[in-house]
Amino acid sequence: MTPDNKAAESCSGGISASLPPSLPPSLSSRPALGAGQAGNAQAPARPAPVLSCISIMALRRRVLLLLLRLLPLLRYRILAVELTSFNTQPVVQEFQRADLSCIISSTKTLHPRIEWKKISGKETTYVYYNHRMQGDWGTRAQLLDRTSLVIHNVTRADKGVYRCEVVAPDDVNIGAEININLTVHVKPVAPKCRVPLSVPVGKSASLKCQETEGFPEPTYSWYRNSDSLPADSRSNPKFQNSSFTVNSKTGTLFFTEVHKGDTGRYYCIASNSVGSAKCEEQQMEIYDLNIAGIIGGVLVVLVVLSLITVGICCAYRKGLFVNNKQNGNSYKTPAKPDGVNYIRTDEEGDFRHKSSFVI
């Protein structure tokens, strides 16, 4: 074995011996020497095995460095507690059951500590703490599969964000948490409807319908004599003699100008994805406005007021309202005769006169 072969074998660690037999001429053999060059010329260097050796050694170093960098990450992932959930945005109907999923996907701790909290704005309350349910949750909530929370008979007050917290002391990352946002849908209750009792022909009218309990917010539809009213009367030939619009978001039925045909019994229905509710039917009457009658009535009132005014003036002129009777304030004390003095005494309580003689 030549020195070049020994160097190549020692650098590549025996890799060159495993090279395939069919190599390019530059790698598999040396160029042929002439007869005169056999004694004096030296064999040319074979660079190919040396380059292959350097590439392999560099690749080995890169792989080793990559493993050294990934080792802490792999160790962290194996020893860190992790949580997952089947559904982080559950939606349930009121008075039904709600499942808040919280699953430990990896942990080294056999008995981790589990806590559930409800977050409402800046206020946080415990739902599950110290291995038991807290407050009124004890009668309608429980843990399922060690970590998941189940709430029975859900009410609208239960909607909000719930946080599942797990503490695993034996893991490198000892704590993990996951938030579950619970949405509760509520069926509407009977809405409040306001329908005017009577409206004159040609005037505008507004009918109101409002419901505040349902969630999501309900939409509204109006009915007249059990017939559904369209959003715009012009869209349906059946209501071409009317001029109204229905706002399904605010629940307002507005007539720009009522007609006799708009008389009827009206009611409203509020509905959402959970259910619907209606208000009681109310009658609205449309009457003709008698302009001539109104003017005549006003004239009669004016004539009566004029006659009353004239009569009062005449009575004053004739002195019928003058009072000739004397009252206590208008009574005049008779003149005192000469030579008589009136003296008031305590015993008598009145005046008595005393005569005096003039000599």
Alpha carbon distance 338, 334 (integer Å): 13
Q: What is the pLDDT of residue 343?
A: 53
pLDDT at 195: 96
| DSSP-assigned states of every residue in 123-174 | EEEEEEETTEE-GGGGGTEEEETTTEEEESS--GGG-EEEEEEEE-TTSSS-
Indicate the residue type of 318. Answer: K
Tell me the average confidence (pLDDT) per consecutive run of 10 residues in the chain, 359 residues long. 47 43 43 44 51 71 72 55 92 96 88 92 92 92 93 94 92 88 96 95 95 95 95 91 94 95 96 96 88 75 84 76 54 54 52 47
Under 8 Å CB-to-CB from 334, ≥6 apart: which residues? none
- Total-model pTM: 0.58
Radius of gyration of the chain from its Cα atoms, rounded to whole angstroms:
54
Alpha carbons within 13 angstroms on the beta-carbon side of residue 229 total 30
Residue among 144, 147, 145, 149 at smallest CA distance from 127: 149
User: What pLDDT shows up at residue 125?
Assistant: 94
Contact indicator for 179, 162 with CB cutoff of 8 Å: yes
Q: How many CA atoms lie within 13 A of 34 on its CB side?
A: 3
3-state helix, strand, coil in the chain (%, to 5): 25, 30, 40
pLDDT at residue 101 in the model: 95
Rounded Cα distance, 342 and 240, in Å: 100
Angle at 350 between CA 346 and CA 353, to 5 degrees: 105
CA torsion 132-126-113-153 (nearest 10°) is 60
Are β-strands 141-144 and 148-151 bridged in parallel, bridged antiparallel, or unpaired? Answer: antiparallel
